[in-house]
């Protein structure tokens, strides 16, 4: 299982691969670093995520907390259907900002 965080631009990051308990541990710190160095508005593209357990949603919540602590606006885009279903069933679709 492989997952990767890539900074595409100063305000755009991309998450790809399989989000599991084993893979998100390293990704959390990479995303936090991106958010802390990004401009006031930043976004993370999830369109290349091929699998996500509920821990992927927990990762998004962690990054959202980081962005709020840094007083930055963070948006997620390209959320895979299965991850979106977890957001909806958990009643988080109004908490996690996505496009």
For position 91, what pLDDT does the model report? 87
Contact 6, 13 (CB under 8 A): yes
- Give the global pTM: 0.91
**Alpha carbon 95 to chain centroid, angstroms:** 13
Local confidence band at 1 (pLDDT 50, 70, 90 cut-offs)? confident
User: Which CATH number characterizes residue 21's domain?
Assistant: 3.30.750.24
Q: Please write the tens of the pLDDT for every residue from 37-92.
A: 999 999 999 999 999 988 999 999 999 999 999 999 999 999 999 888 888 888 88
Residue-number span of the structural domain to which 51 is assigned:
3-89
Q: Is residue 98 part of a domain?
A: no
Residue 59 lies in a domain: yes
Distance CA 86, CA 42 (A): 23
- Residue 99 counted as domain residue: no
Helix axes 21-37, 54-69, angle to 10 degrees: 20
**For residue 77, what are the CA distances in angstroms to 36, 37, 51?**
19, 19, 16
The domain tally of the chain equals: 1
């Amino acid at each position: 299982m492989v997952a990767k965080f890539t900074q595409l631009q100063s305000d755009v990051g991309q998450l790809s691969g399989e989000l599991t308990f084993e893979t998100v541990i390293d990704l959390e710190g990479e995303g936090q670093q991106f958010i802390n160095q990004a401009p006031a508005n930043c976004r993370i593209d999830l369109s290349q995520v091929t699998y996500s357990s509920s821990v992927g949603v927990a990762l998004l919540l962690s990054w959202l907390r980081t962005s709020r602590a840094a007083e930055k606006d963070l948006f997620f885009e390209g959320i895979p259907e299965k991850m979106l279903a977890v957001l909806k069933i958990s009643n988080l679709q109004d908490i996690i900002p996505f496009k």
